[in-house]
Chains A and B, each alone.
Chain A
Amino acid sequence: MKNLPMPTGKDIRHALLTGLWFMFLTFPLLVIKVDPAEQSVTWRWANLVWVGGVSAAVALACRLLAAYRAARVERLRRLPDQTAPQPKLPLLFRPERLLPLGTLAMLFFLAFPLVFSTYQVNIMTTALMYVILGLGLNIVVGFAGLLDLGYVAFYAVGAYTYGLLHLHFNLGFWIALPIGGLLGALFGILLGFPVLRLRGDYLAIVTLGFGEIIRLVLENWGAFSQGPSGIADIPRPGLFGLDMTLDQSLVYQYYLTVAMALATVFVVNRLRHSRIGRAWFALREDEIACQAMGIDKTAIKLTAFALGAAWAGMAGVLFAAKTTFINPASFTFLESAIILCIVVLGGMGSIAGVVLAALILMLLPEYLRALAEYRMLVFGAVLVVMMIVRPRGLMSPPRQTYSPSR
């Protein structure tokens, strides 16, 4: 960090204003403390000073960093060499590090249950389920550019597929898994048809409505779904009818989820580098040019919706099996928003980014428990800072190259 720019008066003024603004915003929460039992009001002025000081310092640092970056970009542009400098990847993400890093990650995930407690394994299983969900939504949002705010509906379809198939027909996890995926895809197509002509904000609103419809149906159609009381006693996944203790079963489920997540990464990666993947990208980039290039817009949109929803359906079956109890409260809009967060934070279209973001977003709140009531505050702050510092997400998708000899 040589030649870091010196703060100008403008920077300092901006930082002070930011500090003041944060002091104002947090004043009611962090300064005034009303104790109804003692009928007293405490003024915690120290907190005010802390908030102001820290936020001003952070704001100043952000501005300086931005200025430093701008200066660097300008320097690069002035280089005599006219070829655009390839953006340098951070050390960890360079292609030659992929194999050792991947092996390391594999070993970590395989050894995880041997090292950590069942509680940790459980958390990791949940995080991996969000990896699957994030990658599924990444097909729709990141690849095909269709903003879907009702993704959780397909998750619910999957979960209820298993729940209801077990309830009525006593079917097991392994039969429900593909059916959940298929039904998810079917519902994806059902949603896809009416929204074929919509894009952007309009599409977002309709998908949002779709998500709510599914949840409301599950909540209110008691005869079908048992309403808000949900479905209980859903069996965990079995392994050739072996009897497992709870701990064993959780670990087994963990490995199952790892395998599913790996399969998802594999399939989504293959799709990305295929004729279909290119058609999705083209659709995202320019719908009209995409049609003019001979791509059937209808078919390619429905494929994206169906495939994205299929993963959500399978993740739903996994979820039902993991929690053994499902009710509509698990499938609120907040879930959709979190999954979308994962995709946006990871970097739309980037597989590695989405995986990383899912793990961070799911694990961070758990490990922030030490911060007690400030947990979600810090979590929110991390999100905001991330979006300011890296608006394109943790990782941008790698530029695809093709060698002619291959």
Chain B
Amino acid sequence: MHPLLIVSGLTMDFGGIRALDRMDLRILPGEIVALIGPNGAGKTTLFNCLTGMYRPTGGQVLLNPPGRPQRRLHGLSPHRITAAGLARTFQNIRLFPNMTVLENVMVGRHCRTTAKLFGAIFRPSATVREERETVGMCLALLDRIGLIDQADELARNLPYGAQRRLEIARALATGPQLLLLDEPAAGMNPQETAELEALIASIRGDGLSILLIEHDMKLVMRLSDHIFAMDFGCLIAEGTPDEVRRHPAVIRAYLGEETTDA
């Protein structure tokens, strides 16, 4: 199968520090791919490079949306990358706290809607229709993540787990091909983690690809089709969950090296 996302030789330098060193990554359509590695390995930096928050120093990011020509993503600004089909969540929740739950999701539709100044002021029927479709679609998304009853609540009043789910719904509203989740289960209790797992699985059912940074290894092993392991900005291993679990480089990265001079 043709990969949806091809990352090749992606490099990111901050001054003299190389945060990403010639990363290669392939994500197939409909696949859940996990990115693991110790803290500071460069996982979030990779996310930021993929989504345009950082401009990578070198390398390529290419997207192959099904039925459309290949697109170069590196060097594009974040909103263009989102429009091209990559949507993300953040490690530290970044909702719009003083907007309602529904409005948060509606902001996600921004790049798929077109109402301009004229439409906003005079509300021609096209704008009214577009607005109605947006509301309908966003309510459906809220229903899916179980927040429909809190639609008019302010986002900051939601409990933690619900805020995480809302961030995913907001990202889904942008109509992505690939969803990037940065530690979605961080700080969640087992009940919330189980709900999250079901949600991610159901998103995959829609045919989306998911790239996941996660420290909850049980969750990663259960969900992922493919795992990339990173350390010090480099790829140290990749493969199926079983392969990566047994990979010596991964064990070394997580547990440290055996000392021979003992």
Contacts and interface: CB of A to CB of B under 8 A. Distances in A.
Given A289-B90, A289-B94, A278 B106 contact: yes
Nearest to A276: B120
B132 to A, nearest CB: 7
Interface of A is mostly: helix
B107 A279 contact: yes
Interface residues of B, number: 51
A293 B77 CA distance: 12
Given A293-B107, A294-B79, A296-B79, A401 B98 contact: no
B107 A295 contact: yes
A294 B103 contact: no
Given A282-B107, A295-B111, A296-B79, A270 B120 contact: yes
A406 B96 contact: no
A245 interface: no
Interface string B78-101: 110011000110100011111110
Contacts of B113: 275
A367 interface: no
Contacts of B82: 291-294
B51 interface: yes
B96 A289 contact: yes
Nearest to B175: A294
Interface in A331-353: none
Contacts of B100: 399-401
A359 B131 CA distance: 34
A292 B103 CA distance: 15
Contact of A282 (B99, B112, B139): B99
B123 interface: yes
B88 A292 contact: yes
A371 B135 CA distance: 53
Interface string A68-98: 0000000000000000100000000000000
B170 interface: yes
A281 interface: yes
B174 interface: yes
B243 interface: no
B102 A84 contact: no
A288 B94 contact: yes
Nearest to A287: B94
Interface string A243-283: 00000000000000000000000010011001111110110
B121 A271 contact: yes
Interface string B49-79: 0011100000000000000000000000111
A116 interface: no
Q: How many interface residues does chain A have, given as a range?
A: 20 to 34
Choose among A277, A288, A402 the residue with the greatest number of B CB atoms under 10 Å from its CB: A402
B222 to A, nearest CB: 27
B2 interface: no
A14 interface: no
B13 interface: no
B154 A399 contact: yes
Contacts of B96: 281-282, 285-286, 289-290
Contact of B51 (A84, A271, A276, A292): A292
Interface in B159-200: 170-171, 174
B97 A285 contact: yes
B7 interface: no
Given A286-B96, A303-B117, A404-B135, A293 B174 contact: yes
Contact of B115 (A276, A292, A294): A276
A14 B90 CA distance: 45
A294 B120 contact: no
A305 to B, nearest CB: 14
A293 B111 contact: yes
A297 interface: yes
B216 interface: no
A282 B79 CA distance: 13
A5 B119 CA distance: 53
Interface in B97-149: 97-100, 102-103, 106-113, 115-117, 119-123, 127, 131-132, 134-136, 139
Nearest to B139: A404
B99 A406 contact: no
A293 B108 contact: yes
A301 B96 CA distance: 17
Choose among B97, B100, B110 the residue with the greatest number of A CB atoms under 10 Å from its CB: B110
B157 interface: yes
A296 B113 CA distance: 13
Contacts of B97: 285-286
B78 A281 contact: no
A293 B113 CA distance: 12
A81 B174 CA distance: 35
Closest 6 CB pairs of A and B: A294-B111, A274-B120, A294-B82, A285-B96, A289-B94, A291-B78
Interface of B: 51-53, 77-79, 82-83, 87-88, 90, 94-100, 102-103, 106-113, 115-117, 119-123, 127, 131-132, 134-136, 139, 151-154, 157, 170-171, 174
11 contacts: A84-B153, A271-B120, A271-B121, A279-B107, A279-B110, A281-B103, A285-B95, A289-B96, A294-B79, A399-B154, A400-B103
Given A270-B122, A400-B103, 18 more contacts: A84-B157, A271-B117, A276-B117, A281-B99, A281-B107, A282-B99, A285-B95, A285-B99, A286-B95, A286-B97, A290-B107, A292-B51, A292-B90, A293-B87, A295-B110, A296-B79, A402-B102, A402-B106
